[in-house]
Amino acid sequence: MKHTPHQYVHGHSDRESDRLRYQASKLAELLHHDTRYPPKSRVLEAACGVGAQTVILARNSPGAEFVSVDISAESLAAARDRVSHEGILNVTFRRADLYDLPFGPETFDHVFVCFLLEHLPDPILALNNLKRILRPKGIITVIEGDHGSALLYPDSPHAHRVIDCLVELQRQTGGNALIGRELWHLMMDAGFRNVTVSPRLVYSDESRPENVEGVKNIFIAMVDGVRETAIRQGLIDPGSWDEGIRDLHRTTEQGGTFCYTFFKAVGRKEG
Ligand SMILES: C[S@@+](CC[C@H](N)C(=O)[O-])C[C@H]1O[C@@H](n2cnc3c(N)ncnc32)[C@H](O)[C@@H]1O
């Protein structure tokens, strides 16, 4: 079954590319410390975007052979530049749609997916397609966020309202910004076995300035990135939007705290 490419809620602007790269480097230890692939293993990175995760994966497993695919030619070009700039040699890129993958069955030992399923109308179909190209007993790793996991102090209905606007816009493009909590079930429903999910928590207060910067540049920047669309669609008025963003920033100031959970799932194909 072939799907038309969906609309990516955050867009493909330079600002969003910078945000994805910053996000990947900031979260590298938290999300990737336990992902290592053996020498000579064949790894498909599905939806590599601008290569933000690619450079981390490839450096952490220098003997593995990565094939990184994305539907966006523009993102792939940026990913290629990034990887070659870093002198990384164990990655090849290919333009491909997850719903029509140009690989034979059982081609890869591992599949890696990050921040993708949340944007797809049919994540189980996508997982099934990835399962097809995985060899028996091959391993899939999936990392997703869940915007409903944001805990704010001081709490603010205005701040939750702007987050809800992003959740709604993502829903309108067929995605699910609350997908992290569903990962275990999605993987099981797609037929993977030995599925384990580990929540990875990001927490910031003023005693952790590096985390505070991350909250501003990753989470708040991501929410604020849909400002114009949310207003244009009549989900919120400009004043309420700015109030919500201001209250999100208050969680990063003196006396504030912020907490968010990513979900990392690992599962095995039967064989
Ligand atoms: C949020 S970005 C994540 C990129 C990267 N995994 C990261 O963590 O930085 C989602 C990516 O999925 C890609 N994508 C969306 N639908 C796709 C599809 N059907 N096939 C391949 N890539 C797709 C988009 O082009 C975009 O680059």
Q: Is the CB of 202 under 6 A from ligand 1?
A: no
Q: State the DSSP H helix or E strand holding residue 45, giving kind and residue range, or none if neither.
A: strand 42-46
68-78 confidence digits (pLDDT tens): 999 999 999 99
Task: Find, among 14, 9, 18, 11, the residue nearest to 218 by Cα.
Answer: 18
**Average pLDDT for 193-221:** 96
Q: Which helix (H) or strand (E) holds 8?
A: none
Q: Which atom of ligand 1 is nearest to the CA of 118?
A: 1
Whether the pLDDT of residue 14 is over 90: the answer is: no
Q: Which pTM was predicted?
A: 0.93
Q: Measured from the CB, is residue 103 less than 6 Å from ligand 1? A: no
Q: Is pLDDT at 3 greater than 50 in this prediction?
A: no
Beta bridge mates, 91: 66
Q: Which atom of ligand 1 is nearest to the CA of 20?
A: 9
Dihedral, 205, 179, 14, 203 alpha carbons, nearest 10:
10
Grade residue 19 by pLDDT with cuts at 50, 70 and 90: confident
Does ligand 1 come within 6 angstroms of the Cβ of 165? no
- Look at ligand 1, atom 25, and give the residue with the nearest C-alpha: 72
Range scoring the smallest mean pLDDT among 1-10, 83-92, 137-146: 1-10
Reported as a single tens digit per residue, the pLDDT across 95-126 is: 999 999 999 999 999 999 999 999 999 999 99
Task: Say yes or no: CB of residue 222 within 6 Å of ligand 1.
Answer: no
| Mutational test site, ligand 1, from 67, 116, 222, max ligand atoms within 8 Å of CB | 116
Residue 4 vs residue 230, higher pLDDT: 230
Q: What is the pLDDT of residue 13?
A: 78
81 phi and psi, to 5 degrees? -60, -45
Angle between helices 73-85 and 52-60 in degrees, nearest 10:
40
Decide whether any atom of ligand 1 lies within 6 Å of the 19 Cβ. Answer: no
Sorting pLDDT into bands at 50, 70 and 90, what band is 56?
very high
Q: Tell me, using a 6 A CB cutoff, whether residue 26 lines ligand 1.
A: no
| Closest to 96 (Cα-Cα) out of 44, 138, 25, 159 | 44
